[in-house]
Structure 1
Amino acid sequence: MQNNHHQSRRQQFYEQLTDGEALILFAGSAPRKSADASYRFFANRNFFYLVGIFQTESVFLAVKTGGEIEETLFIHKKDPLAERWNGYRISPEEASEHSGVEHVKELDEFDSALKEAVEIGGVSTLWYDFDQFDAGRADAPQNRHSASLNSAYPYLSLNNAYPAICAARTIKDESEIAHIREAMTITRAGIHEMMKSAKAGMYEYQLEAVFNKALADAGVRESAFANIVSAGRNNFYIHYEEPTGMLNDGDLILTDVGARKNEYVTDISRAFPVNGKFTTEQKEVYSIALQVNKELMGLLVPGEVSFADIETHARKRVGEELIAAGFLGKDEDVKKYYWHNGTHHIGLDVHDVGPKGNPIQPGMVFTIDVGIYIEDKNIGFRVEDNVVITGTGFEHLSSEIVREIDDIEAMMS
């Protein structure tokens, strides 16, 4: 059995368990799409973080008694007929190898195992991953199961493991950062190919296909999130996911894209002109966003600033520069052209979990994003980069994805 990062993450969580407590995690299932079709299965992120397998509907149980932890992973049994129709199911041996969990049983044994732990093993407290985004969703497996169990054993205490798991996910280890670097290399290739391929008369979805092909060529099946590839006035829809417009001469293209590698993602935004040359006004506004982006990176000292500090500086400086350039009146609020915050964690999710109010710490990976949207000038875009905080400062993970005006124009020529 290989020593793996998932084991060490579980051991870290177990430090808060006392005797008579148990942790239950659900992998989840593929949501129904329509008729008898389902969306592709996507393992619950906290389940994957701690367990490391992708088998649909799997359940993980850890029970602490006598100061020792007993782990059991429950998965669908091997079934040649089911696999013929729906794809390969991992074996207990493979599940054990990938997860580091010694005991792997069939899924239909979970209920009896938990019943024994409660009625005979003395378990009185259960920890569930009560995801804040599943609050009120009766069909979420942790909500459905905890409600059923609480009805059968009303004396049980229920605790929420979600905050502790999320806090751990906020600080990436070296293996996680390495995965993000790999994803960044692929993202860079895709963005550069889009810059080289863009031309008037193309459709946004054709440019998006260029990015997707670059990912496929690198062995990546799908992007980190729904690609945002827009041009012209479509840039004013921040989360634009219907790329059907045409690229017109004189317009700016906005790409907000990322790759997923070994489950870790990137989130990069770049802007470039359809015809390969920025207009004078486009240069002015773009230069402001890029300048402020660089200034924000200059603030990144671990323990000294929070996301709120970064956002405050961004709004202040964008406002000052837009006023100085004559795009914003002295009495106008910067929010007229500065529409959104630009700092969020990335990792297993593109908007990854983690507190936003705390000072930045080594191991945090997040975005530095400056967006400016001036509708009456038809100039809207964002310059978004990814950084990881180190012991003394930061590493600019996306530094090799071109963003200087001269470099963009040279790449597009």
Structure 2
Amino acid sequence: MSVSVAPRHPHHSAGLMRGIYLPRAADALASAMSTYGIPLLVLATTNSAALTGAAFTLEWIPRLVASGLAGTIVDRRGAAGIFHLASLGRALALAAGALVLHCHPFGLVASMTVMVLATTTGTLTVFSYIAAETAGAAAGRRAGTRAHRVQAVLLGIEQTATLAGPALAGLLLLAGPPPMLAVITAFSLLAALLALRTPPTPVVPASAPKGRPGAVLLTGWRTIRSLPALGWLVAGLTVSNLATGLLQAASPVIVVKHFGQSTTAVGLVWSAAAGATLLSVTLCRFALDRLGLWPVGATCAALASLACVAAAQAPDYPSYLILIAVLMAAEGGMTVVLRTLRSRLIPPEKFGSTLSATILILLLPFPVAGVLTALTPPDALGHVITACAALQALGLFCAFARLRTDPALRS
């Protein structure tokens, strides 16, 4: 195999760019703008911390509910077609929302429209994400020993989108909700068109018995349990995501109400964090070549724990921004480790179902974080974040202590 790879490398790289990287870039930018822009829109129009937390919850709960169905459909229909349809559906939903908000910019109709958009975009985003991840994992397997480089590029694309998305959404929000939603619609349409170039992925044979999403998730859960390295890493990151999700959900309230900044400053926090994560992913790409998965993952876990504890006690906006950037950069390093590990360990025919189960587990803390934000008084958010940060440190320590001698992370 090594003899045939070298001559085909330029063609392979071009195929990755057209079929994997460009569609993922357009979809990631649309997802980032909607994920961060809709809660900002709720806070700007209602000035309510409770409704902001509720909107965050409404974005993430559908992702949990739809993850099992998304994995089933991707396994049976292939990643490219589902990627195209999900991006197209999100574009249509956003276009309809922009039209409604143009006619009814304020009041009950506007509030209901934004909440419905949070639910709809959250549902369709999980379909496009699982489809894109399945296509990316297939590309990683074709890359062989360079799989971690493919995953690093994909994560870099996502973080670049997260770098531009929140800031762009905040700026467009100054012109009003319809322009912001119109731009997200355009990126969703672009992703739908580019997804037509995505290479086909392995699918479950039509003769295979069809199972319900719950059964598919159970299959994915069993696959995770059969891979101890993947299971421990997913467990540690799930505990960590509670603290990360709480900071993400509470940031509009913390930045606007506690530090007295504008809604644009909230987008700047996550854009700075994405920039730091992009740098971290680039560094991890080379560090993984030299050091391996476990040293890089353990170092990032320690940095994430320390940064989260410090962010809960940040005295002002600049220090808060820097600490969030350090936290998310460390999270990005751990994500590269997770993606490389799952592309290496999960059987291709079970990747969609296992990815659905993995995403379901990893996303569970996010709606919980939204509920905590909605129920916690703004003055008490710091104490809740501190408690979650301590839990994050404990969870990551246990996970990487268990994985210290695991051959899957040492190879």
- The answer to which structure has the higher strand fraction is 1
Q: TM-score range by the shorter chain?
A: under 0.3
Instruction: Pick the structure with greater CA Rg.
Output: 1
Structure with more contact order per residue of length (Cα contacts < 8 Å, sep ≥ 6)? 2
Instruction: Give the TM-score normalised by the residue count of structure 2.
Output: 0.27
